[in-house]
Structure 1
Amino acid sequence: MSRMVNCVKLGKEAEGLERLTYPGELGKRIFENISKEAWAGWVKHQTMLLNEYRLSPIDPEHRKFLEKEMDKFLFSDEEPAKPDDYKPQ
């Protein structure tokens, strides 16, 4: 049976992640409060950020930016970063 969580991003009970996907306290918070569906949404958004802003995951400043955006995307009502010329599909 799948592990269920009360997903704070989706505002409903949904299938939880199978394992920690991020280290540290933020990773624990994600594991306990974010569903697979919401995490997949973040991965898609993160890919867009990496590509459009030409970010490198090995650059400490870029990682800090991505972590801030991840927290915003998953846990906040604040609008996550989008490129100036972003057009929703």
Structure 2
Amino acid sequence: MANTVFCRKYQQELPALTMPPLPGAKGQEIQASVSQQAWNEWQALQTRLINEKHLNLLDPATRRYLMEQLELFLDNQPTDTAQGYVPPSE
């Protein structure tokens, strides 16, 4: 059976990340409190923000911005969106 974690975003036990998604203490914290589902959703949002806002990941301000957006996302707070983004219809 897969490991589970009490996900801070969804407030329920869900499958855990198999390894820390970031180096250091922050990665350990995320692995211990964020589900695989929430992390996958964050990665999709992060990719949209990077692509649509033409962010430069070499810029320390951009990395700080993305970490701020990550925290907002995980705390179920409003995050920035890619301007003009329309979610695919089901």
Q: So what's the TM-score if we normalise by structure 2?
A: 0.86
CA distance in structure 1 between the aligned counterparts of 2:46 and 2:15, rounded to whole angstroms: 21
Q: Distance in 2 between matches of 1:39 and 1:84?
A: 22
Pairwise CA RMSD of aligned residues? Answer: 1.4
Give the fraction of aligned pairs with identical amino acids, expressed as a percent: 32
In the alignment, which residue of structure 2 is the partner of 1:83? Answer: 82
Gaps of 5+ in 1: none
Distance across 1 between alignment mates of 2:77 and 2:4: 26
Aligned length: 88
How far did residue 15 of structure 1 move? 0.6
After TM superposition, give the deviation of residue 87 of structure 1 in Å: 3.0
Q: Which residue of 2 aligns with 1:50?
A: 50
Report the CA distance between 1:2 and its aligned residue. 1.4
Q: Over residues 10-32 of structure 1, what are the superposed CA-to-partner deviations in whole Å (9 max), with x where a residue is unaligned?
A: 22111100001012332222100
> In 1, are the aligned partners of 2:48 and 2:82 still within 8 Å (CA)?
no
Aligned position for 1:25: 25
Letter in 1 for 2:44: K
Once superposed, which parts of structure 1, at least 4 consecutive aligned residues long, lie more than 2 Å away?
23-26, 83-89
Residue equivalent to 2:61: 61
Question: How many angstroms apart in 2 are the aligned matches of 1:12 and 1:88?
Answer: 25
For structure 2, the 5+ residue unaligned runs are none
